[in-house]
Copies of this chain bind each other. A is one copy, B any other.
Amino acid sequence: MLITDLTMPDFTRGLAQTRTVLIPFGSTEEHGPHLPLDTDTLHALEVGRRIASRRPLFVAPPIHYGVCRSTANHPGTISISTSTLHALTLDIVSSLYRQGLRNFILLTGHAGGTHYATLVDAGEVLLERFADLRIAVLTEFMLASAAAKGLIETEGDAHAGEIETSRILHSHPHLVQGRAEREFPEFPKGILVRDKVRYWPGGVWGDPGKASAEKGRRLEEAVVTALEALITRLEAGDY
């Protein structure tokens, strides 16, 4: 059940079936010269759609904006602040809670460290705010990189590389424009760099050349399967 497409009575009927909602967080962020700026959102929304086709589950409208630290100055990235993302997350979950939802999966297609930490921090605040709320906060990448073992050839593939390109080739092939060069940027450890584009000109971290739609299909399947297991556990309170 995609909330975007439901009517008011659809929503009420859905609540009779499930109290679980997946909220797809993405970003508008450069993904090299070959993937669309919406890549992270597409990942999360696609996974939401697939799971919703298998079990009763609400999928909230996607959040296309995230906190992008390393790519903030690359062309096309639109980054918001951590405090805004925090407030937005609290508001959306709280409103859904008042609507009757109790189990929340905050699934982010963007896996940046400050972005993810902000969602986790909001998740903890929500645990304190509502006594009967259950919540999972996870990046697509956690699931996909686990799924990637044995399937993905590129070591350290992280951004717009073999994994992400394969997935978009599978889910939205018309949005992929060729293949970018492999790139493994080296940032100085610990130092915050002012001009990040200089250290990372191509905006890729990994090897898109090794990507294929078939790999994408298998990754997608593995991610969806892993997430389904997690949702089952979350709903059962079996932890």
Contacts and interface: CB of A to CB of B under 8 A. Distances in A.
Interface of A: 3-12, 15, 28, 30-38, 41, 60-65, 67, 69, 72-84, 86-88, 91-92, 95-96, 98-99, 113-114, 116-118, 120-121, 123-124, 127, 134-138, 142, 175, 177, 188-194, 203, 230, 233-234, 239
A23 to B, nearest CB: 10
Contacts of A189: 138, 142, 230
16 contacts: A3-B28, A3-B37, A5-B175, A7-B36, A9-B75, A10-B76, A11-B37, A15-B75, A76-B99, A80-B88, A113-B117, A114-B124, A123-B192, A136-B192, A142-B189, A188-B233
B33 A8 contact: yes
Among A10, A34, A82, the one with the most B-chain Cβ atoms within 10 Å of its Cβ is A82
A74 B8 contact: yes
Given A4-B64, A7-B37, A138-B190, A87 B76 contact: no
A28 B88 contact: no
A211 to B, nearest CB: 15
A97 to B, nearest CB: 10
Contact of A28 (B61, B64, B192): B61
Nearest to A139: B190
Nearest to A194: B127
B65 A92 contact: yes
A82 B81 CA distance: 13
Contacts of A175: 5
Contacts of A83: 83, 86-87
A121 B116 CA distance: 12
A78 B67 CA distance: 22
B121 A6 contact: no
B78 A137 contact: no
Contacts of A36: 4-7
A191 B3 contact: no
Contacts of A203: 8
Contact of A69 (B98, B114, B120): B120
Contacts of A79: 91, 95
Nearest to A191: B136
Contact of A121 (B77, B114, B188): B114
